[in-house]
Amino acid sequence: MEPQHLSGVEAATPHPRSSPAEGLLGNLRAGLRLSLLRGVRREEITASAHAFAVLVVVNLTVLFILGFLSVGSEGQFNLDELPRALMFVPLTLAFGLLVERTSRGEGTMLVVSTALVAAGTVLTAAVGLVGVLMQYQQDVFPASRAHWDTLFYGGIAWWYVVVVVAVCRLAPSNLRHNLFHAIAGLVLLVVPAWWYPQSPLWIPAHDQTAGQHDAAPAALAEEQAFYAQHEVLRQALDALVPGRPGIADLYVLAAGLDAGEDVFMKEVLAIADLFRTEFDAEGRVLALINNPKTVEQYPVASLTSLTAALQQMGTLMNVEEDVLVLYVSSHGSEQHRLSVEFKPLRLAPIDPPALKQALDESGIKWKIVVVSACYSGGFIDPLKDENAMIITASSANRQSFGCGNESDSTYLARALFDEALRKTRSFEAAFQVARDSIARRERAGGFSPSEPQIFVGAAMREKLKQVERRFQAPVQ
């Protein structure tokens, strides 16, 4: 009887190895050769489910070691990054299966998948070690943002070349199939690595009490505090004063949306104080804070209170003269929603359409909107117009950093408000300074770049020149 056609796993039986360790070393040697664009024969690859799984473990170990080298022993395992670290497993297997189906080569799936995981592990180790050297040996390896970007994007580009070369050598086919494999490799293996870059599996330790406020529910559940909130908000709104004719006044609304960590409260209070003392905004600053420590002094932060505050400011501002500075800070999701948390209240998250509606309904023309949260770049397109400046702590697909009870401010708040805006009155120049400062801190902490974003409308850029002239202060 004719033998049955074997599947990718069954047919991928390698030539005998003396031990699993030798098989692993052989695969890593093949991965090294592939990463250097050297020739590798199919029989040099130990292609089996076990060998593939072992390489996955080695890859995770490399990521862990790189994080440890960057952070040191005073760190913690980054469990949130484990799914992203394993994302390459199904994608690599899917790519291997696709190559096998198009090239009609038995056993090709595991041969290609195993070889690519081995090569990817070698490249990860190489690029990661250069990054560590850039962190600790800046006299030899300068760690400017440009150099870091070159390392990251250069590594991604080289990975694509390795993928194409590996498939052409391990599963040779005709030109049409080779082109198809190159496109599939780009979509399945390269774009995800660029779009969702891997963060370390070992990161600086955060405060273990972060987010664990057993007293928080009780603070707001107390009858006095609960019913006092209406009066607290009313008094805060009534305390705002009208704009002055002929003066470009700044109206500042700062909101710390998550009661789970003190950092949001701390930075909102610091930002409010900065604008009162340095930007002549006394009487035009309002802070909304979700925190049990301030529940009787400051209005709770929610979409409702934020909308009410914007509407009150809109009635007091001189439309053509005054400028709104809106700062919102919280945790953000990949769906671009800002967490609004203050147990036991059930508060709706704030997404870009909701924030845009609140701004539009206020009638405020000139606005600077700063969103400090993970994935906050997703707020730029929905909010931008010619009369707006939008600043976000990260791009739409990146995390930002600096949360925690022990932290006084997030990376963006510290770099932009506490540092840059104390040296220059140009918001745009301050952002450039802050972006470079954040990049340095992220490299030192072993974090993936958050890539803070900025948009400035043409009309707003001209308006800000008036504001800057009013608050002239030389850069120190």
pLDDT of res. 146: 58
- β-pair type (388-392, 366-372): parallel
Identify the residue with better confidence: 138 or 65: 65
Residue 299 makes CB contacts below 8 A (sequence gap 6+) with 229, 232, 233, 236, 286, 287, 288, 289, 305, 309
Tokens standing for residue 21 = 């360790």
Please say if the pLDDT value at position 238 is more than 70.
yes
Q: How far apart are CA 122 and CA 119, in angstroms?
A: 5
pLDDT of res. 213: 42
Which phi and psi (to 5°) does residue 249 adopt? Answer: -75, 150
pLDDT digits (tens, 9 = 90+) for 87-114: 889 999 999 999 998 887 777 899 999 9
Residue 119 makes CB contacts below 8 A (sequence gap 6+) with 30, 31, 32, 34, 35, 162, 166
DSSP secondary structure letter of residue 258: B
Q: How far apart are CA 123 and CA 130, in angstroms?
A: 11
Q: How far apart are CA 373 and CA 375, in angstroms?
A: 6
Please say if the pLDDT value at position 292 is more than 80.
yes
Task: Domain ranges for the chain, please list them.
Answer: 8-204, 215-470
Mean pLDDT value across the chain: 85
Please say if the pLDDT value at position 216 is more than 60.
no
pLDDT of res. 149: 67
Please say if the pLDDT value at position 162 is more than 60.
yes
Nearest Cα to Cα of residue 256 among 379, 336, 341, 315: 341
pLDDT of res. 76: 80
Which phi and psi (to 5°) does residue 408 adopt? Answer: -85, -20
SS3 192: helix
Please say if the pLDDT value at position 14 is more than 60.
no
Q: In CATH, what is the architecture of 215-470?
A: 3-Layer(aba) Sandwich (3.40)
Please say if the pLDDT value at position 349 is more than 70.
yes
Which phi and psi (to 5°) does residue 60 adopt? Answer: -65, -40
Q: 223-250 burial by CB neighbour count: b if 16+ within 10 A, else e?
A: eebeeebeebbeebbeebeebeeeebbb
- β-pair type (323-329, 202-204): unpaired
Q: Return the percentage of the chain with pLDDT > 90, whole number.
A: 56
pLDDT of res. 219: 53
Identify the residue with better confidence: 297 or 343: 297
pLDDT digits (tens, 9 = 90+) for 351-391: 999 999 999 999 999 999 999 999 999 999 999 999 999 99
Q: How far apart are CA 148 and CA 138, in angstroms?
A: 12
By the 8 A CB rule, do 317 and 309 touch? no
